[in-house]
Amino acid sequence: MAPPAAEACAEARAEACTEDVKKWKRAEAILRDWPARGRFKAEAQAPGTVVFVGDSILANWAESPEGFFPGEPYVDRGIKLQTTSQMLVRFRGDAVLPGVAAVLLHGGANDITGLRDAITDAEVVGNLASMAEIATANHIRVIVGTMLPIGPSAEKRRPSARVLAINEGLRALVAEKHYALADFHAALVAPDGTLPDTLSDDGVHPNAAAYARMAPVAKAAIRTALR
């Protein structure tokens, strides 16, 4: 039998190897289906359905204690770690479907980290604008959600200045194209411009209290879009 130190070393190597295999499999999955077009296998929806397209900020909403808008014809198509470039590629398959009346678009948090590629603020807005144009061309109403404020602990990877610049571009887009605006940023931001610790555990993702503030904002914007 190997000495305890050698056993511990072997176990550590095995754990590291297992983690490397997991990372490789995740990378392989991204390479095989970079935009995750096969995630939802979306089909026709009931008339009047509203599809939410975004990243983990939307994906996590379904995991909140209140659930994802119980009783409403809303469908969550958020995918964790996605950029707006990925959302744009999968958008038609996930949201442009019979029965869909409106789409709510929300993204950008992963773009500004450079998670997948380098992208400018204007290009983030452009990706969301392209999705909106596709929706409009298919007689689907559009709601654009502003990016959430950033907490101090997440400022280094997600600079608030970029969030504000992207939101400025989104508000200009909404004004020009007469889309509905879901101003999540305004609903959550503290007087100092940050996302309060009471509304997020990591400075990026909303907690239950934050989603409780975001829900009426989304519903009001959807009502506006569907008038």
Segment 157-205, tens digit of pLDDT: 999 999 999 999 999 999 999 999 999 999 999 999 999 999 999 999 9
Q: Mean per-residue pLDDT for 59-67?
A: 90
Give this prediction's pTM.
0.84
**Model confidence at 26, in pLDDT bands (50, 70, 90)?**
low
Cα separation, 59 vs 182, whole angstroms:
17
Chain centroid to Cα 10, Å, comes to 40
Share of the chain above pLDDT 70, in %: 82
Is pLDDT of 30 > 80?
A: no
Q: Mean per-residue pLDDT for 7-34?
A: 60
- Average pLDDT over all residues of the chain: 89
What single letter denotes the amino acid at residue 135?
A
Better-predicted residue by pLDDT, 5 or 166: 166
Is pLDDT of 112 > 70?
A: yes
Cα separation, 7 vs 15, whole angstroms:
12
Cα separation, 20 vs 27, whole angstroms:
10
Q: Which CATH architecture has domain 35-225?
A: 3-Layer(aba) Sandwich (3.40)
Task: Give the range among 5-19, 44-58, 149-163 with minimum mean pLDDT.
Answer: 5-19
The confidence score (pLDDT) of residue 63 equals 87
The confidence score (pLDDT) of residue 114 equals 84
DSSP classification of residue 154: G
Share of the chain above pLDDT 90, in %: 76
